[in-house]
Structure 1
Amino acid sequence: MIRQCWIAAAVAAAVIGMNLTGCSAGGRAEQDETQPGGTGLAGSETDTESGSLKEITFVLDWTPNTNHTGLYVAREKGYFKEEGLDVKIVQPPEDGAVVLVASGKAQFGMSFQDSLAPAVAGESAMPVTAVAAVIQHNTSGIVSRKGEGMDRPKGMEGKTYATWEMPIEKAMVKNVVESDGGDFGKVKLVPSTVTDEVSALRTKSVDSIWIFYAWAGVKMELEGLDTDYFAFADLNPAFDYYTPVIIANNSFLETDGETARAFLRAVSRGYEDAVKNPREAAEILCAAAPELDPELAAASQEYLADKYQADAAQWGYIDPARWNAFYGWLNENQLLDTQIPENAGFSNDYLPQ
């Protein structure tokens, strides 16, 4: 379910010239403020019982989940207020979080390095920058029913794969299948946006699905579905890219960098708390988004606890070598109309020093 936002973000890059006003989150779960506010790039100030706070809008990539926990922990524990901020967490409009951040209607948002690629360079470039890695390593891969030979990429031959029909997605699957000695042409591509991975596999509507293990994989474990799984990061070092990331509006970063740093100081504390106490963090997330399954949220939070920061020196750090490796792979395979320059699209300058 979570990865549906990839489609919206990729489409957003193509429609940046469309009218950016009147965005709404119609159809999304009602949680927090579902209508993105026009707070302005530098933020506005609001009087509260604790004084004057600067308003910041953060737009999610999809409905609330454990990728977002640090935001809710920072809000619940008052870390934003300690930094002088009043942070509104909103659902994305139909054309995606990237468009809302690029337009200046939100200062920050959630996105992914792969889906940001069209926005980084060329005529479709958008004024956004990745400023923090939410999870340090790529936790996505291909899941299938156990024992059907798809525990390795070559095993996808002759089987159905639920594809989003995205060029980068299909190129990555092709790479791992052929690197394993398989024939990608023999993989049966079924255009499908799977919203319930467990049901899709159990009913055999598809044989394999690209998932992010922290949510869909954990859900399969809880529901007792035996699966085989291989991770992209284990098969090609270039595929250990950053997903998800926090993005910010470039004009906001240029004109109000100190506020950006204050925001990331608070968010860092939120994710650090989620690492130290995942159970408490899951409870905070579920209190903010009561539609979530508490058991799934708790189990997902436990899975992510050692993955938010992993081997990085601090939460949020983006390794230039790994960032450039993935975009370099896109360049080499001519998957975009424009080559992405080295070190384009990210910055560690706003993380706590």
Structure 2
Amino acid sequence: MIKWIAAAALTVSLVAAPAYAETPVTKIRFTLDWKIQGIHAWFYWAKAKGYFKAENLDVTIDQGEGSAATVTRILSGAYDAGFGDVNAIIQNAATRPAETPVMVYMIYSKAPFALLAKAEGPLKSLKDLPGTKIGAPAGAAALKLLPVLSKNNQIDYASLSILQVAPNLQEQMLLQGQVDSIAVFSATSYMNLVSLRRDPDKEFRWFFYADHGIDLYSNGVMVSPKLAHEKPEAVKGLLRAINRALHETVGDPKAAIDLLASEEPLLNKDIEMRRLTYVYGSLIDTAEARELGIGDVNDSRLKSSIGIISTAFELAKQPDAAQVFDHGFLPPKADRLPTTIKN
């Protein structure tokens, strides 16, 4: 009798086993926008703490080649998701809407595009721009947007002297007086100045485009149309894991940078700790993020920014906001509200 019960139980367990099988793991190839920096801490935190795994995700994280390159990497099919620039999505969605990635979690609520000038230099306000020399890498978004910035602030763009410079030489050329200002990505230039042992807050003036009529969004998490359409629950799980990791990183940034250094031994922990703190306070923890939660966007503002990018890059067609950002994958607002970063 006992043997019969045991055999029956085994039979039941074998028959029932498929009903308790776990959801198949979804593999996601994720690309960063650049080399590993403090601003990437939450992605590695989510992986190390098992948050991706808890969502039945197997996430591989690779370093990137630029914010715009994230879009082309996903377009090529080499990656399923990544951290990159929404403005590059807008440009590609104008011609390839069905293939272009969609942003699903906005991280940089304020765009980091800015003109950087020495405090002791001739540029005291944007009204002083005419007749000055501006340095910028060819093709840089901050340079592409300069005509729009000029128009919005009644500046004759033709009066500006533009000098194309290598990205790694921008700050040095400004310090040497070869240019009066440089068109920059603040998250990078701020820490380049720190590395040069200069005080980016006291020795320089920052003219953020966002404060002068060019109110754009910037970097966030984007996914391929294929992943969004075929694995929507995987996308939701990806965002839950990243959102949780971002908030825990903010709560203990030192631990997050220590973890990041274990991934990249050559990382300068002091520099990347300051980068993380600076970027979070200036680009992520904004008034809008406090209202909508990190990850979300204001539709009216997004439409306006699409119009600005369409004009600046002379797009043949202006994409719809729904082709650029999808709110449907976001975690609840209560889980996304920002808190002050711990020092």
Per the shorter chain, which TM-score range? 0.7 to 0.9
Aligned to 2:227: 252
8 Å CA contact 1:162, 1:193 repeated in 2: no
Q: Which residue of structure 1 aligns with residue 247 of structure 2?
A: 272
Q: Does 1:200 align with 2:149?
A: no
Q: Does 2:118 align with 1:145?
A: yes
> In terms of Rg, which structure is larger?
2
Matched, 1:81 2:59: no
d(CA) in 2 for partners of 1:330, 1:203: 32
Residue 100 in structure 1 maps to residue 79 in structure 2: no
1:283 aligns with 2:258: yes
Q: How far has the Cα of 1:171 moved from its partner?
A: 5.4
Aligned to 1:254, the other structure's residue is in SS state helix
Letter in 1 for 2:156: D
Contact kept in structure 1, 2:113 and 2:142, CA below 8 Å: no
Q: Counterparts of 2:208 and 2:312 in 1: how far apart (Å)?
A: 21
What is the Cα deviation at residue 61 of structure 1? Answer: 1.9
1:54 aligns with 2:26: yes
Matched, 1:158 2:131: yes
Name stretches of at least 5 consecutive residues in structure 2 with no aligned partner: 1-21, 333-343
- Structure 2 residue aligned with 1:67: 39
- Alpha-carbon offset, residue 297 of structure 1: 0.4
2:46 aligns to what SS in structure 1?
Answer: helix
Deviations 1:236-282 (A, max 9, x none): 1xx22221121111011101111111111101111112222222222
- Equivalent in the alignment of 2:298: 319
Paired with 2:60 and 2:294, the residues of 1 have a C-alpha distance of 22
Seen in structure 2, the aligned counterparts of structure 1 residues 260 and 178 have a Cα distance that, compared at 3 Å, is closer
Q: CA deviation at 1:104?
A: 2.8
- TM-score scaled to structure 1, two decimals? 0.76
Tell me how far apart the structure 1 counterparts of residues 124 and 322 of structure 2 sit (CA, whole Å).
Answer: 35
Tell whether 2:203 aligns with 1:224.
no
Over the matched positions of the two proteins, sequence identity in percent amounts to 21
CA distance in 2 between counterparts of 1:179 and 1:52 reads: 52
Residues 127 and 251 of structure 1 are in contact (CA less than 8 Å); yes or no, is this contact kept in structure 2? no
Cα distance 1:126–1:76, how it changes in 2: closer, same or farther (>3 A)? same
Distance 2:225 2:97 in 1: 15
Scaled by the length of structure 2, what TM-score is found? 0.78
Of Structure 1 and Structure 2, the greater helix share is in 2
- Whether the 8 Å contact between 2:91 and 2:313 is mirrored in structure 1 is no
Following superposition, the deviation at residue 332 of structure 1 comes to 5.5
Q: Which residue of 2 aligns with 1:308?
A: 284
Q: 51-60 vs 263-272, which deviates more?
A: 51-60
What one-letter code is carried by the residue in structure 1 that aligns with 2:268? D
Letter in 2 for 1:253: A
C-alpha distance in structure 2 between counterparts of 1:143 and 1:316, whole Å: 28
1:128/1:51 CA distance change after superposition, 3 Å: closer
Root mean square deviation, CA, Å: 2.7
CA 1:160–1:290 in 2, change beyond 3 Å: closer, same or farther? Answer: farther
Q: How many aligned positions are there?
A: 302
Counterpart in 1 of 2:6?
none
